[in-house]
Structures are given as C-alpha cells and as structure tokens.
C-alpha cells in the first residue's frame, strides 16, 4: 500500500465545531474539569491496561492534558504525545506536565491532518472530543494511519441518547458551585447533545473508516468505542460464500 505520511491541511480550514477553545474559555474548562480527577484516572488505567512497557501513546485533543499526565504518572516508560488544535490548551497542558514532574510531548495540530508518520503509535485515546470534529471519518482514518498494526484506539464521548436525568446526575457528581453546575447542564443539554453521536452512529462512522468497525461499551452518559488496526474482511470484498481477507490498510 502506498504510504500516506503526514497530509497537509487545506488553508483556512475550520478544524472544530462551534467556538475555538482558546483564551479564557480554555482556562475556565481547565479549572472546571480539574475536579474530574477520579474519572480521568479510570480512563488512564483503561488505556494503561491495553499497552506494554515503553508504549508509544497518542492522546488526540487532550485539552488541559489531565489524562496524559495521569498516564505518565502510572508508568514513566510510556512515550506520550498530545495533539490539540488549541494553542492555549497546549500551553496549559505543558504547564500541568511540568508541575507534575512528568514528560509528555504536548503539541499543536489538527486531528484530521496529524503531523506524524504512518505506524507511529501503539495506542490512541480521545475523550470528550470526538463530537467536536467536523470530519469524523477523516479523523478515524488518520488514527488508523498513525497507529501501528495491532494497535488500538479508545474513544470516550457523550451518547446522543443520554437522558436529562443522567446528565444532571453526572454534572452533580462533579461538585461544582451552582452557577457552573447550571451552565454545564445547559451546555450539555442544549449544545453538546446536538453534536454528540449515538452508539449506532459511531458504529456507522467506524464502519466507513479504514478500521471497518468498532466495539461499543456503555460508559455512564456516554460510550467507549474500541477500534483496532488489524487484518479484517471488508464487506465490499465478500464474493459468494468465501470472504476475501486482506491486510489492514489495503483499502
């Protein structure tokens, strides 16, 4: 298969849905999500359980970088990279890593045009951000490209079918003051749900991507989508009763 090493993004492309998370918005988000440390640790443990010593891990859209920092604390041998479109978040995340005394390579870039060669990472994780990407299949294809054969991706995000009661319970568990709590609930219900994917929509996107499919698990008011870069059988290649298998990437 021809290599697809780092593609160049078109000029003036808007890389995210909605407002840019820069300046005070990024700083507010960073302060507000700092309290979710238990949840972030549980995602870091999930990722860690999927990789071996010295693994090369990419966090797509890390925002303030809490998950990558927790991962680095779990095992200092990991080589962790975080790629985010927001300059402010990259600065905040670098500062968080410095303060925690861990090494993470946080850098600015677009998930749909990743600045990495093919077959670079053993594992990719992306939390609370997939719904923000305007070209989700392109992002999945980029994850596939930069992942090594046998590598896995974990995407955690809000489920479009999350109930109002579920959202209230989730936000209440974040222990915020009443004004932040009200603002976050309204943002979830009247903003984020509009962009969020249902589990079947995520399956469809994964099927259209080079991964060819994914496994979905429930995760509170969201889902975990697990994707793997492996040899698989694409439906378009099934002729008669004998499916044709091909090596991942040959599409």
Q: Which is nearer to ligand SAM, 158 or 206 (CB)?
A: 158
User: What backbone phi and psi angles, to 5 degrees, belong to 29?
Assistant: -60, -40
Q: How far is the CB of 205 from ligand SAM (least distance, A)?
A: 15
CB of 33 to ligand SAM, least distance (A): 5
Nearer to ligand SAM, 81 or 127 (CB): 127
Question: Side-chain half-sphere of 217: how many Cα atoms within 13 Å?
Answer: 8
Q: Specify the residue, 116 or 248, whose C-beta has the smaller distance to ligand SAM.
A: 116
Residue closer to ligand SAM, measured from CB, 213 or 220: 220
What is the pairing mode between strands 238-239 and 242-243? Answer: antiparallel
Nearer to ligand SAM, 6 or 213 (CB): 6
Nearest approach in angstroms of CB 131 to ligand SAM is 9
Residue 20 CB, nearest distance to ligand SAM (Å)?
7
Q: Applying CB under 6 A, which residues contact ligand SAM?
A: 15-16, 21, 33, 61-63, 83-86, 89, 110-112, 127-129, 132-133
For residue 229, the minimal CB distance to ligand SAM (Å) is 20
CB of 127 to ligand SAM, least distance (A): 4
Cβ-based nearer residue to ligand SAM, 122 or 142: 142
To ligand SAM, the closest distance from the beta carbon of 136 in angstroms equals 10
- Which residue, 39 or 56, is less far from ligand SAM as judged by CB? 39
Query: With helix as H, strand as E and coil as C, how does the chain read?
Result: CCCCCCCCCCCCCCCCCCCCCCHHHHHHHHHHHHHHHHHHHHHHHHHHHCCCCCCEEEEECCCCCHHHHHHHHHCCCCEEEEEECCHHHHHHHHHHHHHHCCCCEEEECECCECCCCCCCEEEEEEECCHHHCCCHHHHHHHHHHHEEEEEEEEEEEEECCCCHHHHHHHHHCCCCCHHHHHHHHHHHHHHHHHHCECHHHHHHHHHHCCCCCCEEEEECCEEEEEEECCCECCHHHEECCEECCECCCCC
User: In the bound complex, which residue of the shown chain has the CB atom lying closest to ligand SAM?
Assistant: 63
């Amino acid at each position: 298969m021809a290599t697809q090493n780092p593609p160049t993004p078109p000029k003036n492309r808007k890389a995210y849905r909605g407002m840019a998370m820069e300046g005070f918005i990024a700083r507010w988000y960073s302060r507000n999500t700092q309290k979710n440390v238990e949840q972030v640790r549980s995602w870091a443990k999930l990722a860690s359980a999927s990789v071996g010593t010295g693994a090369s891990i990419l966090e797509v859209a890390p925002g303030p970088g809490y998950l990558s920092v927790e991962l680095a604390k779990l095992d200092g041998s990991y080589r962790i990279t975080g790629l985010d479109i927001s300059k402010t978040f990259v600065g905040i995340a670098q500062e968080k890593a410095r303060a925690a005394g861990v090494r993470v390579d946080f850098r600015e870039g677009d998930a749909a045009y990743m600045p990495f060669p093919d077959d670079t990472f053993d594992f990719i994780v992306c939390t609370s951000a997939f719904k923000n990407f305007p070209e989700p299949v392109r992002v999945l294809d980029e994850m596939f490209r930069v992942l090594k054969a046998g590598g896995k991706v974990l995407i955690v995000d809000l489920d479009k079918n999350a109930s109002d009661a579920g959202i209230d319970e989730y936000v209440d568990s974040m222990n915020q003051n009443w004004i932040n709590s009200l603002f976050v609930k309204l943002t979830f219900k009247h903003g984020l749900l509009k962009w969020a994917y249902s589990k079947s929509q995520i399956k469809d996107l994964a099927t259209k991507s080079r991964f060819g499919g994914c496994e979905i698990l429930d995760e509170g008011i969201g889902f975990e989508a697990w994707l793997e870069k492996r040899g698989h059988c694409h439906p378009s290649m099934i002729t008669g009763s004998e499916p044709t298998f091909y090596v991942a990437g040959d599409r």
